[in-house]
Structure 1
Amino acid sequence: MSSENHKIKVGVIGVGVLGRHHARLYKASENAEVVGIYDVVPENAQRVADEFGFKVFSSPEALAEQCDAVSIAVPATMHHAIGMQILKMNKHVLMEKPLCSTVAEAEEVVKEADKRGLVLAVGHVERFNPAMDFLEKQRSKTRFVEAHRLCSYPPARPGQHPRGTEVSVVLDMMIHDLDLILTMMGSEIERIDAIGIPILSKTEDIVSVRIKFAHGGAANITASRVSSEQMRRFRVFQDDAYISMDYGKHTGMVIKKNRIGLANKEISLNEKNALADEIEDFLRAVRETTETGVLSLPKVPGEQGLRALKLAVDIIDNIREYNDRYGFKFT
């Protein structure tokens, strides 16, 4: 779809660390025309505009009026307010994860998009990671999953929370792995046991959780934003195989039982830009919906973003009930 007349007119609301990449990749896409950008901090918007040659708009509404579709990459606590505003203007939305900061807000956003027949994609970018491409093909007979997602504390920002810390690390980071595990398991959840504590922020900075599924499967997940070690690792134990994937390094290993013992296979996955693929998938869904008049779903639609959010909120509730039960207080 290279004709200028067929390009989707897009804008980006919020051009911080992640929103800047949305804008950059839209500009690089032959399927999009970047109308402009908006950020609540004018200096941020102007810096990105100068870097890529974008027009800066004075409000989200002014930008959305001239667009077919919009990426929203603002703090999670603002997703509902801005998302509803843009959807009510009949614009398609790619919402960064988490879909919203509460289940009630997310349900309202999903309902609004569905009512209007609009594409609502959620930025669970790991679904587009080459490691997940492989894991989805190998997901049968999965019995146990172990995931670790660790990073250092984000730097301070003048007048704002450090990036992501307006919400728990469960919503900021772990939600990626929750979405992957729900996709892999395909079963109802039977029990959650979680523990977590705030260290540098007012919400949980490190969390460990064990999830038992109704079909007998289980998952152990750890997320920390106060680690000296960087890690994004996902390990899957199946009836007849063990798969270890490092979806930061795009490498992995498969150990599989056969008639004579164990067979080992190293996996070197082709590099690709997962966010670019996410954006192209969103543009595809918008184009198909526009051309046919029938809603075309993105790879991660609003309902799946809501599914992951519900589990994340259940984990946070479990943590806080545990801390209250044992009298743990954090300041």
Structure 2
Amino acid sequence: MELNVGVVGVGVMGTYHAQVYAGLPGVRLVGVADPDPFRQAAIEQDLEIPAYSNPEELLGRVQAVSIASPTSHHYAQARMFLEAGIHVLLEKPMTRTAHEARELVRIAEQRGLVLQVGHIVRFYRAVSDLMQLVRGPWVLEARRVGNNRRIRDIGVVLDLMIHDLDLVLLLLKERPNRYTVVGRQVDGLDEYAQAVLDFPSGARALFTASRISPMAERSLTITQPGEVLRLDFNSEYTELSLHRAPLGASDPDKVEPNGRTQVQVERTAFNNDNPLRRQLKHFVDRIQKGEPPLVTLEDDLLALELALELSAALQPVMAR
């Protein structure tokens, strides 16, 4: 039996959700909701499905819904659908406050519904491989910068940095015990942020996020005993590289005559074959087949709470 789904908010990300659902086996996209008549018309023409002005009009038509509206609407919309017995995939960040997020988790668990947060980075194939390679890291450095200010209701920490916070928290499986964070505001919103987090294990994580950089970069570099792992994302593929001493070397720290240490590099390129599709299929499979979640809602809450804390503590960089 097909699962009737809908999408709330068909901006850039919501439109991607709708397009994926339209081609997903076992799923019937029955409609979308968005207050913008131009977006409604575009979806109706592209996917030949009804487009409504209000999310309430999807009630009674859907069994599951993706919510990709602005963050300021997440709590009210997600609560409405959950209370109506409808499964929800909620784009990150979950909500504007930790209290709102915990309330959604409470309702979903009480009613036995799937509530999944749209952390798409978890569904990159390279990330799955990376999880198997991380062992006692010393330093993790994440950079997520570009020139895109289309999100105007949240700052750069909740918009971009939260992706890398979530990934590092999943890799280290521990909470930080201290941090520092600085940033820069433009037009009243944090558009650049840099954070340093220290963990009980001794690992240190450095995060840089910017929506005002003239150059785009998405990378994660992990230094651990004897090797360095680096994940480079781009629009077509993700490259995972491993830098370490040559296998079988008697002394991995042996210095050559020119003063350099021998290093062996292994590179693997992963085609980014639509991680959003894998994310939405996982959501559907959880509903239809009872598959276990990739991560727990507590993991989602931890990433949100940390992002909110960093955002609140962010201190502007002083002009020199």
Q: TM-score, normalised by structure 1?
A: 0.88
Runs of 4+ in 1 over 6 A off after TM superposition: none
Aligned partners of 1:56, 1:176: CA distance in 2, in Å? 30
Q: 1:165: Cα distance to partner?
A: 2.2
Q: Give the letter aligned to residue 283 of structure 2.
A: F
Residue deviations 1:263-293 (CA, integer Å, cap 9, x gap): 221211233211010000000001124xxxx
Match in the other structure for 1:276: 277
1:133-152 superposed matches below 5 A: 133-152=128-147
Residue ranges of structure 2 left out of the alignment (5+ in a row): 253-262
From 208, 217, 236, the equivalent of 1:231 is 217
Structure 2 residue 311 is the aligned partner of structure 1 residue 316: yes
Match in the other structure for 1:175: 162
Q: Give the letter aligned to residue 221 of structure 2.
A: R
Match in the other structure for 2:48: 53
Match in the other structure for 2:194: 208
Residue deviations 1:84-139 (CA, integer Å, cap 9, x gap): 01110010000000011111111111111111110001000000112212211112
Q: 1:56: Cα distance to partner?
A: 1.5
Match in the other structure for 1:160: none
- Report the CA distance shift for 1:301/1:95 in structure 2 as closer, same or farther (over 3 A): farther
Aligned partners of 2:33, 2:124: CA distance in 1, in Å? 28
Instruction: Tell me the secondary structure at the aligned position of residue 271 of structure 2.
Output: coil
Q: Is the 8 A contact 1:98 1:305 kept in 2?
A: no
Match in the other structure for 1:222: 208
Match in the other structure for 2:121: 126
Match in the other structure for 1:189: 176
Q: Is the 8 A contact 1:9 1:32 kept in 2?
A: yes
Q: Is the 8 A contact 1:122 1:301 kept in 2?
A: no
Q: Is the 8 A contact 1:123 1:300 kept in 2?
A: no
Number of aligned residue pairs: 304
Q: Is the 8 A contact 1:131 1:247 kept in 2?
A: no
Q: Is the 8 A contact 1:165 1:172 kept in 2?
A: no
Aligned partners of 1:8, 1:178: CA distance in 2, in Å? 32
Aligned partners of 1:9, 1:302: CA distance in 2, in Å? 24
Q: Give the letter aligned to residue 67 of structure 1.
A: V
Match in the other structure for 1:111: 106
Residue deviations 1:11-34 (CA, integer Å, cap 9, x gap): 001011000000000011112110
Q: Give the letter aligned to residue 19 of structure 2.
A: R
Aligned partners of 1:140, 1:287: CA distance in 2, in Å? 35
Instruction: Tell me the secondary structure at the aligned position of residue 151 of structure 1.
Output: strand
Residue deviations 1:180-239 (CA, integer Å, cap 9, x gap): 00001111211111001212x322100000000011111000000001101111111111
CA RMSD, aligned part only?
A: 1.7
Residue deviations 1:28-71 (CA, integer Å, cap 9, x gap): 11121101111021221221121111112342122132111000
Residue ranges of structure 1 left out of the alignment (5+ in a row): 1-5, 155-162, 290-295
Residue deviations 1:154-188 (CA, integer Å, cap 9, x gap): 3xxxxxxxx32211100011100000000011112
Q: TM-score, normalised by structure 2?
A: 0.91
Aligned partners of 1:186, 1:142: CA distance in 2, in Å? 12
Q: Which moved more, 1:211-220 or 1:135-144?
A: 135-144
Q: Is the 8 A contact 1:94 1:120 kept in 2?
A: yes
Match in the other structure for 2:293: 298
Higher strand share: 2
